[in-house]
Amino acid sequence: MVVPFPLLLIRGFGVESTGKQESGQEGEPSPAVKTLLKCHVDVIGYDYCGAVSSKANQRGFSMRMLLSALAATTFLAGAAQATTVYPLDRATILAGSPFDFKVEFKTVVKPEDVKITVNGQDYKTVLGKEAEFVAEEKGKEDKILGSALIARGLVLPTEGAYKIEVTAGSESKSVTWDVYNTAGAPKAKNIIFLLGDGLSVAHRTGARIMSKGMTEGKTNGRLNMDDLDHMAFVGTSSTEAIATDSANTMSAYMTGHKTAVNALGVYGDRTPDSFDDPKVETIAEAIRRQTKSRSASSRTPKSRMRRRLPSLPTPASALTRNRSSA
């Protein structure tokens, strides 16, 4: 039996509600089930939940659905209605790289109640600039979102760990940044960044098996990319959703900062304006700043693209910053 979403059977968690029965009768899922299923659709992006052919399958499938939904809600709940600091907690920042600093309070606060320290010192001493206080940030239909502070173009020249502590009335937030540096003398004359779009460990494993073969559980050879001098895994998760898109994933590559879906080179803040988001430096800007050299970006010709993307964020991420409201 194929069960259209969200008509499912969930048992075993103190919740039992049936949707469309095998006999064709219809039932109404409980509010708890509705909430879990809706969250799963919103977060994962599924609009159809596959096939359930028996009660045993229904139970197992429903359990996986429930666990997935609970994990998703847990992941996203921490960011809702809380004081936010940009760059985010555990951000890695290149020493000397310009970035914007922003604090979003969840309520309207007084400027005299705001206290910000960096490694125990007043933030202005360490960051070298006083942030602008915004009494009321507004969202759609002029909804008041809370107060904010923002400072543009800050630079931390010294590597090390930085702990930022923010308080304002009953609100408080603490984040840490890891500021790192590169070798004093450059070791590479040119850099070519070649992106295998969608290329994961699973694809590499499949290519290795198909091209080299496998004997007694071991592949009979290695791919050329397996023996490159410098390799690393990069996480490209979105900051506010499990699902990602081309913009925020490539922005992670090109800036070293995680950001929201539809964002390039910026942290997607809460305001509707897509041009006021906190900015970070892209790799092309870093190369230009440090070497005065130019960078180039190219992409697959339109005729060879299976799917046209309106903004082509993959190549644009090296040179552009923007956030789409779509």
**Predicted pLDDT at 187:** 78
Residues 20 and 92 occupy one common structural domain: no
pTM score of the predicted model: 0.69
Q: What is the pLDDT of residue 116?
A: 98
125 and 105, same structural domain?
Answer: yes
> Which structural domain range is residue 3 located in?
1-77
| pLDDT at site 19 | 39
Query: How many domains is the chain partitioned into structurally?
Result: 3
**Weakest-pLDDT range from 10-24, 73-87, 173-187, 277-291:** 10-24
Q: Is residue 211 part of a domain?
A: no
Residue closest to 167 by CA, chosen among 110, 125, 129: 110
Query: Does residue 52 or residue 146 have the better pLDDT?
Result: 146
Q: What mean pLDDT is reported for the chain?
A: 76
Is the same domain home to 54 and 103? no
Tell me if 186 is assigned to some domain: no
Residue 28 located in a structural domain: yes
| Angstrom distances, CA of residue 304 to CA of 191, 194, 199, 203, 307 | 25, 17, 18, 21, 9
Q: 97 and 28 share a domain? A: no
* Mean pLDDT, residues 40-59 taken together: 40
In a domain, 204, yes or no: no
Q: What single-letter amino acid sits at 129? A: K
- Dihedrals phi, psi of 57, to nearest 5 degrees: -65, -40
CATH value at residue 173 = 2.60.40.10
Q: What is the mean pLDDT of residues 236-242?
A: 86
Query: What is the distance between the alpha carbons of residues 110 and 103, in angstroms, rounded to a whole number?
Result: 14
> 3-state class of 214 per DSSP?
strand
Residue type, 61: F
Query: Does a structural domain hold residue 228?
Result: no
Q: Tens digits of per-residue pLDDT, 8-28?
A: 333 333 333 333 333 344 445
- Do 254 and 283 belong together in one domain? yes
60 found inside a domain: yes
Listed range (46-50, 106-110, 289-293) with the worst mean pLDDT = 46-50
Residues 51 and 95 in one domain: no
**Among 295, 292, 262, which Cα is nearest to 277's?**
262
Amino acid sitting at position 7 = L
Any idea which of 35-39, 141-145, 226-230 has the lowest mean pLDDT?
35-39
Question: 326 or 26, which is more confident?
Answer: 326
34 or 213: which leads in pLDDT: 213
Domain match, 115 and 172 both = yes
Same domain, 162 and 119: yes
From 34, 54, 77, give the residue that closes a domain: 77
pLDDT at 143: 95
Tell me, yes or no, whether 248 and 301 share the same domain: yes
- Assess if residue 187 is contained within a domain: no
Rg of the chain (C-alpha set): 24
The reported pLDDT for the residue numbered 272 is 92
Q: Is 194 within a domain?
A: no
Within 10 angstroms of residue 175's Cβ, the number of other Cβ atoms is 19
* Final residue of a structural domain among 32, 56, 77: 77
Do 103 and 24 share a domain, yes or no? Answer: no
Q: Which residues of 224-249 are buried (b: 16+ CB within 10 A; e: fewer)?
A: eeeeeeeeeeeeeebbbbeebbbbbb
Residue 73 shares a structural domain with residue 88: no
Q: pLDDT (tens digit, 9 = 90+) per residue, 274-323?
A: 889 999 999 888 888 888 766 555 444 444 334 444 446 677 777 777 78
The span from the CA of 235 to the CA of 256, in Å, is: 10
Domain boundary among 55, 77, 99: 77
Check: CB of residue 237 under 8 Å from CB of residue 258: yes
